[in-house]
Structure 1
Amino acid sequence: MTTSPASPSDLLRLDDGLSPREREVRDTVSEFVTRRVRPNIARWYEDAVFPLELIPELAELGLLGMHLSGYGCAGRSAVEYGVAMRELEAGDSGIRTFVSVQGSLAMSAIHRWGSDEQKATWLPAMAAGERIGCFGLTEPDAGSDPSAMTTRAVRDGDEWVLTGAKRWIGLASIADVAVIWAKAQGEDGEDTVRGFLVPTDTPGFHATPIEPKLSMRASIQCDVTLDAVRLPHDAVLPGASGLRGPFSCLNEARYGIVWGVLGAARDSFESALAYAQERTPFGRSLAGFQLTQDKLVRMALELTKGQLLALQLGRRKDAGTLEHHMISVGKLSNCRMALDVAREARTILGGNGVTLEHSPLRHANNLESVRTYEGTDEVHTLILGERITGLAAFR
């Protein structure tokens, strides 16, 4: 068991309970973030640039599709994946989001629902960072209610023709393949949601980055239009039929968020603590004032509870006993907590906290997006409300 100094926010030394492999992932990703992300993130954020040069480095670390097995993927455990997401998001939510979109959404969809040929064609190159994927579910008028999607896939001889629009699609403008979810008429004559692999150089596929943004500036989100996109008959993901297909991928991404936001919150806390220890208003350390210590203690307590929650979910996921509603517990609770911590940390920094020299307000701005995507507070509240009462209140 490690005897290295604990983070000041780890009041229960929870990281001491990580396995040697889990600590190895933590330390490797933390070193990468310290060396490659922190010195540059303020510039990337201000310039609204996603650093494409990081992609081969993230692949070299085995982070792309790291929770998947085979096809060049690392086959890491759920907790190892979670720890990696925590350390990445301590750098910036945009960097963690890239790994989530590539691995938890696009690669997971192909790995779980694709044919053997589709897996062999795309997954090794995606794990190596040589091909980028995106995941098209949300639409301009269908966010929290994907069953209301209007994108359609129609059979035309041996081809499929896709027509529609998607919005807030991460990485779409740099992607090589898009996993697009559309309604298609089944053999019974009823519409059902199907997944399609769309090479982004296919005529009729267009991706336009959404700009300007006040959040996730070092990240790429796009509007996508599908103008009579023609695909071969085998472009469909054969294993996915209905919303169970995309929802299974969303749950993988949501699980990563439960861990990731801990990194943003911890980095905000540590930034505020370091500032308070150096600042000397009224001739004494800011950290020595009771009101400052009250803020720091409350933040550390919330971080500790959030880490306990993430670790419990990770252990259950590795044991195969994680239930879907539990992911909603983690996503709802930890996103709320992380945003509160980032905002509170900013108050300790005073006016200096609104500059990009310090991380809390950048994290808070990013967390407004993270709190919203992969299920809003309201959606996860209703998921848990149905679990508690047995009554669905979505409509």
Structure 2
Amino acid sequence: MRQSFAQWLRQQRFAPSRKLPAEISRGAAMTTGPGELRISFNDLRSVLRDIFLNNGTSNVAADILAANCAGCERDGAISHGIFRIPGYLASLETGWVDGKAEPDVERISPSFIRIDARNGFAQPALAAGAEAIKTAVESTGIAIVAIRNSHHFSALWPDVEPFAREGLLALTFVNGLANVVPHGGHAPVYGTNPIAFATPVANAEPLVVDQATSVMANGEVRLHALANTPLPPGAGVDSAGRPSTDPHAVLAGGALNTFGGYKGSSIAFLVELMAGALTGGQLSFENDFGECVGAQTPKAGQLLMVIDPTRGGNAGFAQRVSHLCSRLIDAGQDRLPGQRRYASRLNAERFGIPISGDNLLQLKALAA
């Protein structure tokens, strides 16, 4: 009997194109390994666009998701690049997410914008609110964007970096699927609950921070499981709530810990308030895939704040940030957040994005 697409998809393994470092982290530097090919950003984006279109997304969603996923791969964020394609497609194939959803944008006050993603992906919902965000910032100096009923399955820096390139300060919160235990707890309540912010820096690239409030991102745990490498001590617990460094145990009913003990747990709580409760979306522990077996994209919420720092006469904001960054380096900090990402981006722009031949064949098969 010919296997279904869903069965075939679950058997696929998009292995990292680059050798995993001893400690996997977002923005890992790219290296060239045996059997690797190089593909341009535009070519990879085109292949991914065809994949999304073939699996039931609208043209708009396909364009946005393809650029987002290709951008993560280009910038070395391998846990959020093509590695996530099977998860995207499983959610589409099972009907868990609506790839053709048309977001509903409401500007309910001069500064507050509510977006109902209508069970679609978060990035197209955010893009649908672009004009309302621009109008709010121009008229009041700030836009607060509350997105609900959305699926965010990527890194957060692509959401905030563009605003910093326009001279704006941007901050965003996203909750997700409950896979993180609160400090001192034994059962998952929070998602990895990432926070990201971006700021302009005078005479330099924007400074962009994107981090989970868990010890590590769930995608990184999956990469460890794929490579059969242990997690760092203190990263998570097994299904019985016992400390574990086995990525398979953490994924099979276990959970991650928050970073920084009770302090990180408090920040994860804040993310639930901002992205789940305030937006009118789901809390992380309310996510339930139901009959959509194999779906991976959490249905939750996202809150975005965009601020014009020149309001109030602060025209020297970017220079002040530059001064702060210089002081950090003078104080001994070896690099600023996002520098590895920019280095990977420059590498890919010059020489192409590294990708294994097997991965490229699988992607082209899905795009055909």
Question: TM-score surpassing 0.5?
Answer: no
Shorter-chain TM-score range: under 0.3
Higher helix share: 1
Give 1 or 2 for the bigger CA radius of gyration: 1
Higher strand share: 2
Task: Say which structure, 1 or 2, has more relative contact order (CA 8 Å, 6+ apart).
Answer: 2
Q: Taking structure 1 as the reference length, what is the TM-score of the superposition?
A: 0.26
